[in-house]
Structure 1
Amino acid sequence: MIVKRLNSSNAIEYRELRLEGLLNYPSAFGSSYEEEKESSNEVYENRLASEFITLGAFENGQLTGIVTLVKETKMKLKHRANIYAMYVRSVAHGKGIGKSLMIEAINRAKELDGIEQVYLSVNKDNVAARRLYLSMGFETFGIDKRSLKIEDTYYDEEHMVLFL
Structure 2
Amino acid sequence: MYIRLLTREDAKLYWQLRLEALQQNPEAFSSSYEEAIKREFPIEQVAKNFEAPGNFTFGAFEEKALVGVVTLIQEQNLKLRHIANIFAMYVTPGHQGKGIGKLLVTEAINKAKTIKEIEKIKLSVVSSNEKAKRLYNSVGFQAYGFEEKALKVNAKYYDEYHMSLLL
TM (norm. structure 1) is 0.97
Residue 38 of structure 1, CA deviation: 2.7
Tell me the C-alpha RMSD between the 2 structures: 0.9
1:50 to 49, 52, 55: 52
1:59-103 per-residue CA deviation (whole Å, 9 max, x = no partner) reads: 112100000000011121111110000000000011111000011
Count of residue pairs brought into register by the alignment: 164
Alignment TM-score, normalising by the size of structure 2:
0.95
User: For residue 156 of structure 1, what is the amino acid of its counterpart?
Assistant: D
- Gapped regions of structure 1 (runs ≥ 5): none
Structure 1 residue 13 and structure 2 residue 16: aligned?
A: no
State how far apart, in whole Å, the 2-side matches of 1:38 and 1:55 are: 25
For residues 86-132 of structure 1, give each alpha carbon's deviation from its aligned partner in whole angstroms, at most 9, with x where no partner exists. Answer: 00000001111100001100000000121111000000000100000
Q: CA deviation at 1:49?
A: 2.2
Give the aligned residue type for 1:67.
Answer: V
C-alpha distance in 1 between matches for 2:38 and 2:99: 32
Q: Secondary structure at the match of 2:31?
A: coil
Question: What is the percent sequence identity of the aligned residues?
Answer: 46
Deviation per residue, 1:114-157 (Å, 9 max, x gap): 11110000000001000000011100000111000112110001
Shift of 1:27: 0.2
Number of the residue aligned with 1:129: 132
| Rounded Cα–Cα distance in structure 1 between residues aligned with 2:98 and 2:154 | 33
Runs of 4+ in 1 over 6 A off after TM superposition: none
> What residue number does 1:118 align with?
121
What letter is aligned with 2:114? E
* Separation (CA, whole Å) in 2 of partners of 1:96 and 1:147: 28
Paired residues for 1:1-164 under 5 Å: 1-39=1-39, 40=41, 41-51=43-53, 52-164=55-167
Query: What are structure 2's unaligned runs of at least 5 residues?
Result: none
* 1:105 aligned partner, one-letter code: A
Deviates more, 1:38-47 or 1:49-58: 38-47
Residue type of the alignment partner of 1:48: F
The one-letter code matched in structure 2 to 1:127 is E
Q: Distance in 2 between matches of 1:149 and 1:95?
A: 30
